[in-house]
Structure formats: C-alpha cells, structure tokens
Structure 1
Amino acid sequence: MKTSFRTVAAIAAFCATMLASGAAMAASTTTNLSVTANVVSSCSVNSTTTLAFGAIAAGTLPINNNGSVTFTCSSGTPWFVTANNGSNASGSQPRMVSSGQYLSYNIYSDNGRTTAFPTALGTLGSGNTGGTGTGGQQTVTVYGQVPSQLLPPAGTYTDTVTLTINW
C-alpha cells in the first residue's frame, strides 16, 4: 500500500502544481488588430438577354422587341452603357446576316424607339443608359426594331452587338 499511497501523493502534488501554474496564468493583456479594405470603383456584367425578333413574315414589319444587360457596379460608381453597331453594320446601320443577305434593324434607349442607343461616351440616351451604382444588380433595356423594308430571302439572321459598361 505504500506504493499506492506514494502514487496518490505524486498525483496530488502534480495536480497542485498544475493548479498553481494555472493561477499564475490568470493575468492577460490586450492589443488591437487593424482590419482594412479598399473598395474600388468597379462594374461587372451579370447577364444579358437576347434581342430576339422571332419569325418575320411579309406584311409584319415593323417588329419591336427588347433585350437587356444586367450588371453590378460598386455603390456610388457612375456608369454609362454604350453599344457598337454590331458585327455586320453598313456604316451606322446595324444589320443581321444570313448567307450573305442582310436584314436591317435598330436599337434604341427608350421604349418609344425615338432615341438611338448611345454609341459613344457622353451621349446619354433617353432611357436608362447611365446612372450611379447601387452595389446591387441594375438592368439596362435595349429596345429593338426591325423597320419596314424589303425582306431578304428566308433564313436565320443573326448579329452580335457589343455593349460596353463604362465607369
């Protein structure tokens, strides 16, 4: 039993030492950690919807439809959207192409289709083509029209317009 008593005494001594050292670590100090971030003026495109005119038959022109671009700009960032005249333009006239044949169309910044969509900075359209970032998603609608014209041969006509978000 002496061995057991010695073992118990050693364990008790060890626990007393640990408790004493824990009491010695009861003091503390504090410091501050700096946290920083630099939010920059920026915009990013979230999505686009196709400006699709659908089936065009004789006697149905003009045909109107809409497309859009949805983007996010940091809060307070001024933005402005411009468009080029597409991949198949003749001068400033946007055109869709199919097998070397063309179908003219126009894009506008307003639902009444009276103001051409801006193609250069500083020419604010009458629609929502410029503004200030909110930090959330914002959408600019592109109003399109295939005007009255002689219809080209049947086919699927396409074009690509580049929209640029400037900030």
Structure 2
Amino acid sequence: MYFLTTAVSIAGQQNAGAIRVKCNNGTSYNVLLGGGQSGNTAARYLQSAANQRVNYNLYTNSAHSVIWDNLNGVSQTANGQDNWLPVYGMIPVQSTPPVGSYTDTVQVTINW
C-alpha cells in the first residue's frame, strides 16, 4: 500500500489495498496482520532511514474503526476462487516529519 507525498499535518491520508487468498471451496481461513516495525498492531508506524516516524494503521473497514490485528484478524470461508480482502490504511493528522522515504513491512499470516 502506498500513501501519497504530502504534509500529513494538513490532511492526514487514507488509502486501500487488498490481500488475495485462494483456498479450496469450503475451507475456512483466518488472515492476521502483524504490527510491523513497532510490533504493536494498535500503534504501527512508518520509519525513515534517519529513524523518523509517521504513525499509521491498517483497518478491516473503510470507516477505519476496526484495526486489523494479529489476534482476531479477518475470517472467511473460501469459494475455490480468488478472494480479495480489502485492507484500509490511514495516516492520521500529525506533525509533519522531515522529508524522506518512510516504510514498514507487515507480516501476513493465513491460518486454515
């Protein structure tokens, strides 16, 4: 998922991506997202090479009210086809950090 280049203190940002899962028809599965560099799903952050941070989080819904965590995650039953699970990202309004490239890597775990 990519966020645009902008001053987050002015607007914050939202974006969306998706996780594709394909399992045999009728297979129940659960998708969990890790906490990234922070190790905390409630307080994820993007970090620059200079160790500056931008807070963000990943959600199961477009209202950004349910954090996608590594405990409950999202459960589905497969239909034998590609299942696309939307992931909603949001950077809240915060102080604008120095210019740079900010990244995070989030582990996706699928249990079935």
Cα distance between partner residues in 1 of 2:34 and 2:26? 26
Task: Name the structure where strand makes up a greater proportion of residues.
Answer: 2
What are structure 2's unaligned runs of at least 5 residues? none
Cα distance between partner residues in 2 of 1:80 and 1:66? 20
* Cα drift, residue 155 of structure 1: 0.5
Residue 119 in structure 1 maps to residue 70 in structure 2: yes
Choose which of 46, 51, 55 in structure 2 pairs with 1:96: 46
Identity of paired residues, percent? 30
SS of residue paired to 1:60: helix
Task: Tell me the amino acid that sits aligned with residue 101 of structure 2.
Answer: T
Counterpart in the other structure of 1:71: 21
Cα distance between partner residues in 2 of 1:115 and 1:143? 10
* Cα drift, residue 148 of structure 1: 1.2
Q: What stretches of structure 1 move > 6 A for 4+ residues in a row?
A: none
Counterpart in the other structure of 1:141: 86
Counterpart in the other structure of 1:132: 77
Task: Tell me the amino acid that sits aligned with residue 80 of structure 1.
Answer: N
Q: Give the TM-score normalised by structure 2.
A: 0.89
Task: Tell me the amino acid that sits aligned with residue 12 of structure 2.
Answer: P
Cα distance between partner residues in 1 of 2:83 and 2:8? 37
Cα distance between partner residues in 2 of 1:69 and 1:80? 12
Q: Which has the higher contact order (CA 8 A, sep 6+)?
A: 2
Task: Name the structure where helix makes up a greater proportion of residues.
Answer: 1
What are structure 1's unaligned runs of at least 5 residues? 1-50
* Cα drift, residue 133 of structure 1: 1.0
Larger Rg: 1
Name the CA shift for 1:160/1:150 in 2 (closer, same or farther; >3 Å). Answer: same
Q: Give the TM-score normalised by structure 1.
A: 0.61
RMSD: 1.5
Q: Is the 8 A contact 1:81 1:118 kept in 2?
A: no
